[in-house]
Structure 1
Amino acid sequence: MRKTTQPSRRGRTKTGRRHPLATVALIAIGLMMTGGAYAAINAGTATADTDINTQVNIDEGAKLFQANCATCHGMEADGTVDAPSLVGVGAASVDFQVGTGRMPMQMQGPQAQQKPVQFTDLQVKQLAVYVGSLAPGPGIPDAQYLTGDGDLANGGELFRINCAMCHNVAAAGGALTQGKFAPPLAGVSAVHKYEAMVTGPQNMPVFNDLVITPTEKSDIISYLQHLEAAPSAGGFGLGSIGPVSEGLFLWIFGLGSIVALTIWITARSN
């Protein structure tokens, strides 16, 4: 009788069994697809920033303007009784006002109050290029002037000569007349600092390139960034609003300590 041999259990291959590396392969494929999608999105954003001055973006900016700004500034941005004309203010002015949340205005007042930005970065740029296309005006500054690598000493001197009388020597801001004020400069982006200098928002004078060159503006921005990052050399800054807060601190705590000590000594002697 012929003996039939059965294949050993160890030698058989089970059908439908998952390979040990299958899970690792699936995770790798998922990560690659996610990374590719993220790179594509970023590439689209970078292209939009690089090619912002396209007719497509200008047309989109015109739609945004008509829906959000034309009520006050007019359908052609030529102004109304409620708001001035924007023809010739340039893309930099719109990028500053809208990019810092000052526009659209929350309410009428001595000056526009800063609030959360109402548009995306791309929409802000589209509004800016649309207004910039209406007439020549200051454009959005080049990135080379926003690096923060300028001359700190020269920037500090220029700031003290041209800006400190309103913004405070420590850039902490200050009060002006008729309910107006110069805002603190801490936390303001480099591009908005540059745009403020070339457009003169609110009560600020315009510092065009004949008054302060682009390189000197870069020096001022570098100095302000250094001032914001460096600790106060005199210790606790007390809000950096000058002798008022320092005198009040001395009056309350210094003189108060003397009075308390005097009372304690008198009580001990009695």
Structure 2
Amino acid sequence: MYAAFSPANASRTTAQADEQLIQEGRELFLVGCSFCHGQNGEGVRSDNGQLGPSLVGVGAASVDFQVGTGRMPMQQPGQQAAVKKKAYTDEETEALAAYVASLGPGPAIPEESEYTLDGLSEDERREAVVNGGQLFLTNCSACHNFEGSGGAMPQGKVALPLRDSTEKHIYEAMITGPQQMPVFADSVLGPEDKASIIAFLESTKENPDYGGFEMGGLGPVSEGMFAWLVGIGSLVGFAYWIAAHSARSKRQETSA
């Protein structure tokens, strides 16, 4: 009798909990999100264009990323949502994600096992980090720099540094493609490849500082600019100073 009735009861209890979570998320959504995204997440168009895009099909992962990093709700429309202090607690973010996920199928919030290399041996982990570095240089460094320090983008946008991002948020960004970032589907980068890229980024945080000016880790462009303006400029100034203070011979006029 227990085997016959217990699964049904457990399933009913889980469904009720999910429904309650979705209802809590809808209440939060109507207060804080519906002005831009519509009362049913259908999106809102203003006179000057679309104010808030439709959220149907964006999935729970997109909400967890945007709200969990403070990008949403936006303080004001702009070229790019800025990272700021979170406006919602983790429990409220979970409820919002559950409600938006109920609007249409989309990427789910990843499990920890998807974006970490737990369970691998030391040699396997080292191989994954090397592979992740190669994948990052091929697919990500054009915007985020070769070590994830970020960089400028067209139309006033910017690729933010990745050193302060959590592993989960990096994975969610790859599967949802926030703002100008493309979506890296599993057919392009498999889950193991995404985890390897994240492991490579985590390894860059542990790189020792050998001294000198890091120049923000922005690579040869900033270093070359510094060399030209400061290095060669200082040498030219020093050479001019030597020439200005050296003894000069004067031609003396002789009487006829």
Is the structural similarity TM-score above 0.5?
A: yes
Please list every run of 5 or more consecutive structure 2 residues that lacks an aligned counterpart in the other structure: 1-14, 46-50, 119-124, 248-256
**Alignment match of 2:160 (pick from 183, 190, 207):** 183
Instruction: Give 1:141 shift.
Output: 0.5
Query: Rg larger in 1 or in 2?
Result: 1
Instruction: Tell me the SS of whatever aligns to 2:41.
Output: coil
Alignment of 1:137 onto 2:106: yes
Alignment of 1:231 onto 2:208: yes
State the partner residue of 2:180: 203
Divergent runs of 4+, >4 A: 232-235, 263-269
TM-score (norm 2): 0.78
Q: How does 1:6-17 map to 2 (within 5 A)?
A: none
State the partner residue of 1:34: none
TM-score (norm 1): 0.74
Q: Residues 148 and 225 of structure 1 are in contact (CA less than 8 Å); yes or no, is this contact kept in structure 2?
A: no
* Percent identity of equivalent pairs: 51
Distance 2:211 2:55 in 1: 45
Aligned residues: 219
Alignment of 1:68 onto 2:45: no
**Alignment match of 2:63 (pick from 94, 113, 117):** 94
**Alignment match of 1:112 (pick from 72, 78, 81):** 81
Q: How does 1:122-133 map to 2 (within 5 A)?
A: 122-133=91-102
Alignment RMSD = 2.2
Instruction: Tell me the SS of whatever aligns to 1:139.
Output: coil
Once the two structures are superposed, what CA deviation does each residue of 1:214-253 show, in whole Å capped at 9, x if it has no partner? 1111100000111122135685320122233212321243
| Cα gap change, 1:233 to 1:196, in 2 (>3 Å) | farther
Instruction: Give 1:99 shift.
Output: 0.7
Distance 1:234 1:217 in 2: 31
State the partner residue of 2:48: none
Please list every run of 5 or more consecutive structure 1 residues that lacks an aligned counterpart in the other structure: 1-50
Instruction: Give 1:175 shift.
Output: 1.6
**Alignment match of 1:146 (pick from 99, 107, 115):** 115
Q: Residues 148 and 221 of structure 1 are in contact (CA less than 8 Å); yes or no, is this contact kept in structure 2?
A: no
Alignment of 1:158 onto 2:135: yes
Distance 1:140 1:148 in 2: 17
Instruction: Give 1:263 shift.
Output: 5.1
